């Protein structure tokens, strides 16, 4: 009889203990990306659309389909050699690639220069950006397809090539808040 009286109390206490463990675990994973500091202007996409398609022009003149990057998070930065804010943020993109680039994540600097590699190659050499994957966006096809309206602009693609979000303007891509944003999406 005494046992029956305490059963609801025991059940409640057990449920409370399980809930507190689950609540603690779920609170460790943020439900939204951290959007502070340099990332305060990052705008997550409400609903992922179709995968981004297109090809990137390599320095050797060959094309690399964006589909080749499927399976990893991809940060595409649209820039140009004549864009002062772009020049300022390029080293931070290179450092982010060095810090986080690998199987799960890659940075791509996608030049919007109409003179293509004739303009881009000397620029990369002058600023010692050899550790950054750089391509040319022939006739700005990819930039136009994602409605880039100013430089620099950056989009983040999921593992299927769908846009997760974008940031228009300059950012320090190796800042703690940028790294936290990338880590948030890599961990999803």
Q: What is the pLDDT of residues 26-85, one digit of tens each?
A: 445 557 888 999 999 999 998 778 899 999 999 999 999 999 999 999 999 999 999 999
Dihedral sign from CA coordinates of 181, 105, 62, 163: negative
pTM for this predicted structure: 0.83
pLDDT, tens digit, for every residue of 16-37? Answer: 444 443 344 444 555 788 899 9
pLDDT of 147 > 70? The answer is yes
């Amino acid at each position: 009889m005494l046992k029956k009286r305490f059963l609801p109390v025991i059940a409640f206490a057990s449920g409370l203990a399980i809930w507190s463990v689950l609540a603690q675990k779920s609170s460790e994973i943020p439900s939204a990306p951290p959007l502070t500091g340099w990332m305060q202007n990052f705008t997550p996409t409400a609903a992922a659309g179709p995968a981004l398609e297109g090809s990137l022009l390599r320095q050797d003149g060959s094309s690399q389909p964006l589909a080749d990057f499927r399976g990893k998070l991809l940060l595409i930065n649209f820039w140009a050699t004549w864009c002062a804010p772009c020049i300022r943020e390029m080293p931070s993109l290179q450092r982010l690639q060095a810090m986080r680039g690998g199987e799960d994540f890659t940075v791509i600097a996608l030049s919007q220069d109409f003179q293509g590699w004739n303009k881009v190659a000397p620029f990369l050499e002058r600023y010692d950006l050899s550790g950054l994957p750089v391509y040319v966006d022939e006739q700005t096809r990819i930039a136009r397809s994602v409605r880039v309206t100013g430089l620099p602009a950056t989009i983040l693609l999921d593992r299927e090539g769908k846009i997760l979000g974008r940031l228009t303007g300059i950012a320090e891509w190796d800042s703690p808040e940028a790294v936290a944003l990338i880590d948030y999406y890599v961990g999803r």
